[in-house]
Amino acid sequence: MKILQIIYESDGSPFGVGGAGVRAYEIYTRLRARHEVTFLCMRYPGARDGEHRGVMHTFAGTDRGGLTRSVIAYTMEAARFVRRRGGDFDVIVENFLPSTPFFSGLLSKTPVVLQVQGVMYGHVFRKFNPFYSLPLYAVEKWYPSLYDRFIFVSGVTKEKVMRGMRRSARFCRVIPNGINRELLTHEAQQGDYILFFSRLDSYTKGLDILLDAFAGLAAEFPDVRLVMAGHETDSFKGLVAKLPPGVKGRVAHAGFLTGPDKTALLAGARAVVLPSRHESSPVSIVEAAACGKPLIVSDIPEMAFVKENGFGLSFPSGSASGLKETMRRLLADSALRTELGRRGRGYAGRFLWDDIAVEFGNALELIADEKR
């Protein structure tokens, strides 16, 4: 089976690799033995077409200018690629982002499945100015209606999107994110830091709330640091600029980590916190759980499974005081941290990338059969 995966993220990109990119590499590096896979990615300086991690990469767009120019050029050139060469593939998987509407379902007779990580909806108006927010909101609302084949990463996102559909879907499947098996065997430690492990995006990830909460606890827990790891959408220096000097010195940025470095950072944390205002289905949550780490998350629907499955605590979304009290509770109770970590490993063990890749490949074969 020849698969075209349209995804702007790729290893080496200065614009970062988020959950969608991690998911793509984890799944397709496992499918490459049986299928021919091509990633259609956004071009960046130094990007070269060819095989990387066993997957063929084709770059579209421009390597000059900032992010906005790159996104526009990528969207237009990727759409032309689908129109001209879409017929060379058995199935096309389009990762949905409102900033990159490719209209691939209208440009090729090859079956196209829209993979939806998450949706922002009303949050877009609170994050961006009207010049960006209005078109992004409009695309999120109507674009999925152009498709009738879907793969969702979470059931919550599926319900949100399908509620607004005007026609029935011929294919609709929830295939979650997963973990590598090795994380389940890595020794969990009780380090001296709370860990935030995601993109450094202040509004989306609630980093303003996290920093306020940590500053309020700093005097009470003088031995605890805050470590933030991930690609800088917002500048780390800008995020911590207004913290008191004594607190600022206890907040560190570990950068964007992968492989053993990421595993070691996760395993050494005392707790992992993700105070997002909105989310899709964060890979970092399941990875932290696999490493035996207790979690603190905001009480948005996309992360309700953490509390429901008993491996973490939640606080009211947007509440710095609520987060501070929840962090205080967890930091003060080592027995609770140990128990939540134990439950987390049991939960995460149900979601292995090996199994998810098989499920994903089987789903694509069902869709590709429509072309044959």
Report pLDDT digits (tens) over 205-221.
999 999 999 999 999 99
Q: Torsions phi, psi of 358, nearest 5?
A: -65, -45
User: pLDDT tens across 45-69, in order?
Assistant: 999 999 998 899 999 999 888 888 9
Q: Which of 254, 183, 53, 23 is nearest to 118 (CA)?
A: 23
- pLDDT of 342 reads 96
Q: Which of 168, 254, 247 is nearest to 211 (CA)?
A: 247
User: pLDDT tens across 249-260, in order?
Assistant: 999 999 999 889
Q: Are residues 70 and 32 in the same domain?
A: yes
Can you tell me the mean pLDDT for 106-129?
Answer: 93
- pLDDT of 246 reads 92
Cβ within 8 Å of residue 267, ≥6 positions away: 186, 187, 188, 189, 291, 292, 293
pLDDT exceeds cutoff 80 at 85 = yes
Q: Tokens for 281, please give them.
A: 């289905």
Cβ within 8 Å of residue 44, ≥6 positions away: 10, 12, 13, 14, 15, 59, 63, 70
When divided into structural domains, the chain yields a total of: 2
Q: Are residues 117 and 197 in the same domain?
A: no
Q: Are residues 152 and 185 in the same domain?
A: no
* 371 pLDDT tier (thresholds 50, 70, 90): low
% of the chain at pLDDT higher than 90 = 88
- pLDDT of 164 reads 84
Q: Are residues 97 and 195 in the same domain?
A: no
Cβ within 8 Å of residue 61, ≥6 positions away: 42, 43, 70, 71, 73, 74, 75, 76, 77, 78
Query: Which residue type does 345 have?
Result: R
Domain around 256: 181-348
Of 4-8, 109-113, 280-284, 306-310, where does mean pLDDT reach its minimum? 280-284
Cα separation, 210 vs 215, whole angstroms = 9
pLDDT exceeds cutoff 70 at 186 = yes
pLDDT exceeds cutoff 90 at 109 = yes
Can you tell me the mean pLDDT for 336-343?
Answer: 97
Rg (the chain; Cα; Å): 21
Residue 78 near residue 48 (C-beta atoms within 8 A): no
Q: Tokens for 32, please give them.
A: 């490459």
Q: Torsions phi, psi of 139, nearest 5?
A: -65, -45
Q: Which of 5, 13, 23, 14 is nearest to 286 (CA)?
A: 23
Q: Are residues 31 and 166 in the same domain?
A: yes
- Does residue 111 sit in helix, strand or coil? coil
Q: Tokens for 244, please give them.
A: 């008191």
Q: Are residues 237 and 294 in the same domain?
A: yes
In sequence order, what are the beta bridge partners of 197?
A: 229
Q: Which of 37, 31, 28, 27 is nearest to 2 (CA)?
A: 37
Residue-averaged pLDDT of the chain: 94
pLDDT exceeds cutoff 90 at 170 = yes
Residue 163: exposed, middle, or buried by beta-carbon count in 10 A (0-12, 13-18, 19+)?
exposed
Residue 157 near residue 312 (C-beta atoms within 8 A): no
User: pLDDT tens across 220-231, in order?
Assistant: 999 999 999 999
User: pLDDT tens across 265-320, in order?
Assistant: 999 999 999 999 999 889 999 999 999 999 999 999 999 999 999 999 999 999 99
Cα separation, 188 vs 347, whole angstroms = 15
Q: Are residues 113 and 192 in the same domain?
A: no
Residue 119 near residue 142 (C-beta atoms within 8 A): no
Query: Which residue type does 152 have?
Result: F
pTM: 0.92
Longest dimension (CA), the chain: 66
* 372 pLDDT tier (thresholds 50, 70, 90): low
Q: Are residues 165 and 29 in the same domain?
A: yes
Q: Are residues 263 and 233 in the same domain?
A: yes
- pLDDT of 189 reads 87
Location of structure tokens 């259609």: 40
Cα separation, 120 vs 269, whole angstroms = 29
Q: Are residues 104 and 187 in the same domain?
A: no
% of the chain at pLDDT higher than 70 = 99
What CATH code is carried by the domain that includes residue 201?
Answer: 3.40.50.2000
Q: Are residues 305 and 361 in the same domain?
A: no
pLDDT exceeds cutoff 80 at 169 = yes
Q: Are residues 189 and 287 in the same domain?
A: yes
